[in-house]
Amino acid sequence: MRLEASSSNRWVTPPNTSSASVIRRQNGETGEVNEHVSGERRPNRLAGQTSPYLLQHARNPVDWYPWGPEALGKARREDRPILLSIGYAACHWCHVMEKESFEDEGTARLMNEHFVPVKVDREERPDLDSIYMDAVQAMTGHGGWPMTVFLTPEGVPFYAGTYFPKEERHGLPAFTRVLEGVAEAWRTRRDDVAEQGQRVIDAIDRGSRPAESNDPLTEDVLRQAHGELRREFDPQWGGFGGAPKFPQPMTLEFLLRCHLRGYPDSLEMAETTLDRMASGGVHDHVGGGFHRYSVDERWHAPHFEKMLYDN
């Protein structure tokens, strides 16, 4: 079920879309709601967590729950969908969405009224991150963080995305419109939601079972992968495809191995990419290491977080 804006600013459901995955947990209990005292926000339920990322959201006006039986139990008892937001402390767009939406009183009111909001640190719960990332990719064709997933009280995803802006821009709907549309679908089209959830489960089940083959791995597989990289290679600035550009160390290592096998252009692609990265802004010339990615094709403007898997 894909929710799209119509000319009347209501959300409609065009047919079809595959998606996501299921997590089931036991019931839990509710706690006190977040409120204001003497003009200062009271900490929400995340204040007792140990994750630095969750603690960053502990004074949002959103009535955040950590993932667990308390949140799932509340969703079941009150028959509310779960709004699951997954991110991590070094994520730029996670902080942007917090500032734009999760710190906004009006947006928080919508979230608290119609959903059970749940915050997850992907570095603390990589299992949940992996499961629901499969859902996001199945529904949207891409993934990323912050991850925004709407679930049934049983944990079945039925609508998902990544970053949503506060106001509609760059082809993305405003987050408040998404909230209103999903809430309306939950109230008035529950059968559609259930059907979508089942399609999601089926899609993930199919995707998790690799196709059986008795064919042996051959040199042709490596040649095919090498050929795809040659087609995507940027001969002027290095890297593969357009912006944003990521370091992709495993791809570069693959090219070096291809060079040892005598594949043409492998060393040139690897060296050009490494040279352009080393001289660009994606390389930290003061502190060392490489930033997570560059927003432009020339490696000039980085997003400043650094990942261990790149360094």
What does the pLDDT look like over 151-178, one tens digit per residue? 999 999 999 999 999 999 878 899 999 9
Q: Count of domains in the chain?
A: 2
Contact status, residue 246 vs residue 296, Cβ threshold 8 Å: no
Q: Note whether residue 54 is domain-resident.
A: yes
Global pTM value: 0.68
Residue 69: closest CA among 23, 34, 123:
23
Same domain, 164 and 253: no
Last residue of a domain, one of 181, 208, 235: 208
Burial level of 251, CB count in 10 A (0-12/13-18/19+)?
middle
Distance between CA atoms of residues 141 and 139, nearest Å:
6
More confident residue, 199 or 106: 106
Give the domain CATH number at 27.
Answer: 3.40.30.10
Token pair 């996001």 in the structure block, residue:
136
Same domain, 204 and 223: no
The pLDDT of residue 173 is 94
Same domain, 155 and 238: no
Same domain, 294 and 228: yes
CA dihedral 157→162→167→169, nearest 10 degrees, is -120
Same domain, 190 and 226: no
Same domain, 186 and 230: no
CA dihedral 83→3→183→59, nearest 10 degrees, is 30
Same domain, 169 and 25: yes
Same domain, 155 and 178: yes
User: What is the full DSSP assignment across 44-89?
Assistant: -GGGG---HHHHHTTTSSS--EESSHHHHHHHHHHT--EEEEEE-T
Residue 243 pLDDT grade (very low, low, confident, very high; cuts 50, 70, 90):
confident
Burial level of 180, CB count in 10 A (0-12/13-18/19+)?
middle
What does the pLDDT look like over 35-55, one tens digit per residue? 443 356 789 999 999 999 999
The pLDDT of residue 35 is 43
Q: Note whether residue 213 is domain-resident.
A: no
**What are the structure tokens assigned to 54, written together?**
């969750």
Same domain, 82 and 189: yes
Average pLDDT over residues 121-137: 93
Same domain, 203 and 249: no
Residue 120 pLDDT grade (very low, low, confident, very high; cuts 50, 70, 90):
very high
Contact status, residue 192 vs residue 184, Cβ threshold 8 Å: no
Same domain, 244 and 106: no
What does the pLDDT look like over 213-223, one tens digit per residue? 777 778 998 99
Range of the domain at 79: 4-208
Residue 225 pLDDT grade (very low, low, confident, very high; cuts 50, 70, 90):
very high
